[in-house]
Structure 1
Amino acid sequence: MSAIASTGSTSLDFDRIRPVRIWLYCLAAFVLLIVVVGGGTRLTESGLSITSWKPISGIIPPLSDADWQAEFEAYQQIPQYRLVESWMGVEEFKSIFWWEWGHRFLARMLGFAFAIPFVIFLIQRRIPKSLVWPMTGLFVAGAFQGFLGWWMVSSGLSELTSVSQYRLAAHLCAAGILMMALVWVARTLEPPASGTVPSRGWLAANWLLVALLFIQIGAGALVAGLDAGFIYNTWPLIDGAIIPGGLFTIDPAWRNIFENILTVQFNHRNLAYLITIYALVLWWHGRKVPRFSGVHAWLPRIAVLIVLQVVVGITTLLSVVNIPVALVHQALAFTLVSMVIAYLSDMHRLSVR
């Protein structure tokens, strides 16, 4: 990345790689779209409606009544239908099927959206040599997401009535890593950055913010996986208290962090408070030195977005997980962590210049 940041020293160089940069931003936006549709799939309990993994032929949806009946009969064999959705007929099944099919379709299209332009840019020699293998790695990471998605779905086909919250968190966090990597690489192809050169301490402080946000994304996945947002829908109290009883009722104690609905929601809330305070401290400190000039203009945007995310998160809770609000909450989380990554990438280019 350091080499890339210092290679394109003329405007012509940046003009030539501009399509690559735009393409990477579009891929990051595509990942965000897939995450949002995946969130809708989870919230509508649609993720187990397709019980097989057909990477190629699965792109074609049911085209006849017989095809629909076959898909529905396969769904009727899993615990979710037998124990929760046995009231459902084939017409109701179609509504959840389309959510999951759409999610998988977009994931497949992401592969095409990556591979085809990648080959074209290689032929045109627009991609810096130092980025060829890293970009190949991004393609492999995207393909691995498909495997993770099926691994997650398979957890709900034999014993559970929904997917494992552990596997859901792994799938969502991997998507976060992919989106952050795309944004980082795209920023390295921007023209030279300007602003105050950051200290190592400042870089470390912002990497800590990324780590906290990433952990919070995983915590949010646990909330979604356990449907924890549908319970304890009061704020600021949770179960009638600031620190409720019952946080460690499962033995061994560590399992409460991942399996106790009360503990999972409590942790998600309090991590949000910690992140908000930490980000506002960074903003307060940052305003005194760089005065938000150059790359540091990211800092007030990050602070505003974090406050907005808290408001949307509280609204999601109080609305008992209104689906559009919840999807905005998820989208903001990914946008926020990507924004901090963009800030760090820009500061990195300043440091190595």
Structure 2
Amino acid sequence: MPFDAQAPYLSTAAAPAGRSRAVAIWLFAVAAMVWIMVALGGATRLTGSGLSIMEWAPFRGTLPPMSEAEWNRLYDLYRTIPQYELVNRGFGLEGFKGIFWLEWSHRLWGRLIGLAYAGGLAWFWLRGAIPRGYGGRLLLLLALGGLQGAVGWFMVASGFEADRTAVSPWRLVIHLGLALFLFAMLLWTALTLMRPHRDAPPAAARLRPLAHATAGLVVLTMLAGGFVAGIRAGLDYNTFPLMAGRIVPEGYGALSPFARNLVENVATVQFNHRLLATLAGLSALVLAALALARLPAGAARGAALGFAAVVMLQYGLGVATLVNVVPAWLGTLHQAVAVAVLGSALVLLHSLRAPRPERAARQME
């Protein structure tokens, strides 16, 4: 079929519903891949694998080492960085292979996400299946995906600096934040294509401010968790609910100027993460109670209850991860479920969208 420059801009109403549904399913699948990517990123961080590959080779690095000479070359590169000298000195080529494979899998999965997205976008575009108004957004997502790869290398490169055994916490949070933003955009776009109509019940209007505030708390908690991971704050104060026998730990705000405490002070960073998580959990429970009391049975009420359930699951996982001193498998699960919390928040906000003015008028008739 010849390419028609106007074809990608068919109106949503004119385009067959099946095409919009197909685009939505593709975006859901890519969002799921990003979810897995975030979990893999958590595993590489927790196992110290993220610095094992010291080259950014977007194409050549797709294949793993194919000879013993190549393995030794990469191992020799790794032995030049502080992480080897201060953490893994003498663990040998087999030990290096153990951390290499996880980081290689993480990067390979990122390449597969790019292939799945770019290939899908080209397929739907050439077939004229992109609904009107979505072309620019989908191209933006493609560009942001490429940027994420560059930000990932920017983060990894910080771990090669003198006296560092891990990446910069700031760069880690930027990398994590961009991944979550990509996931959110993919999921929201897919939800809108799948359910374009705003059909929240009138009673949802009173819940929207609280739902948006709770979603904001969830995002802040996740970004605070990035700083906890970045400075390994979870390895201290491994009791709950008190921190070294106190609600507010000794040493909170000890650094000067105070802003440094928010990203460098273990006591401050961990306390802030706990506080934000607790506020988000309480807010989610209040939201669920209000939904039960005020919303009729349906998508909006179900989304509110589901959101509260996932938030509380994540809260419990966070406590378990802390008191067990952050085992890699539990820390990885905690990071994976964080994406589920974000996803459930987006589903909730989408189900609570205010009807268009003309639709709202019809509801009041």
Q: How many positions carry a matched residue from both structures?
A: 346
Distance across 2 between alignment mates of 1:351 and 1:322 = 48
Residue in structure 1 matched with residue 224 of structure 2 by the alignment: 219
Residue in structure 1 matched with residue 253 of structure 2 by the alignment: 248
1:25-77 Cα shifts (integer Å, max 9, x gaps): 01110000000011000000011111111111111111111000000011111
Is residue 2:81 matched to residue 1:81? no
Residue in structure 2 matched with residue 17 of structure 1 by the alignment: 20
Is residue 2:282 matched to residue 1:287? no
Contact preservation (8 Å) 1:302, 1:336: yes
Shift of 1:200: 5.6
Higher mean C-alpha deviation, range 291-300 or range 139-148: 291-300
Is residue 2:157 matched to residue 1:186? no
Residue in structure 1 matched with residue 305 of structure 2 by the alignment: 300
Is residue 2:60 matched to residue 1:28? no
Distance across 2 between alignment mates of 1:320 and 1:229 = 7
1:71-127 Cα shifts (integer Å, max 9, x gaps): 001111111112222122111000111111111111111110001111111112111
Contact preservation (8 Å) 1:195, 1:290: no
SS in 1 for 2:58: coil
- In structure 1, list runs of 5 or more residues that go unmatched: 1-6
Instruction: Determine what percentage of the aligned residue pairs are the same residue.
Output: 37
AA at the equivalent of 1:165? P
Residue in structure 2 matched with residue 46 of structure 1 by the alignment: 49
Alpha carbons of structure 1 residues 197 and 186: separation in structure 2 relative to 1, 3 Å: farther
Higher mean C-alpha deviation, range 76-85 or range 25-34: 76-85
Contact preservation (8 Å) 2:51, 2:156: yes
RMSD: 1.8
Shift of 1:194: 3.7
AA at the equivalent of 2:29? C
Alpha carbons of structure 1 residues 87 and 351: separation in structure 2 relative to 1, 3 Å: farther
Distance across 1 between alignment mates of 2:216 and 2:18 = 34
Contact preservation (8 Å) 2:184, 2:342: yes
Is residue 2:61 matched to residue 1:58? yes
Residue in structure 2 matched with residue 177 of structure 1 by the alignment: 181
Alpha carbons of structure 1 residues 292 and 265: separation in structure 2 relative to 1, 3 Å: farther
Residue in structure 2 matched with residue 126 of structure 1 by the alignment: 129
TM-score by length of 2: 0.90
TM-score by length of 1: 0.93
AA at the equivalent of 1:196? P
Distance across 2 between alignment mates of 1:257 and 1:216 = 13
Contact preservation (8 Å) 1:187, 1:345: yes
Contact preservation (8 Å) 1:165, 1:226: yes
Higher mean C-alpha deviation, range 28-37 or range 155-164: 155-164
Is residue 2:237 matched to residue 1:232? yes
Contact preservation (8 Å) 1:79, 1:157: yes
Residue in structure 2 matched with residue 4 of structure 1 by the alignment: none
1:343 to 329, 338, 348: 348
Is residue 2:145 matched to residue 1:142? yes
Residue in structure 2 matched with residue 327 of structure 1 by the alignment: 332
Residue in structure 2 matched with residue 3 of structure 1 by the alignment: none
Shift of 1:337: 1.1
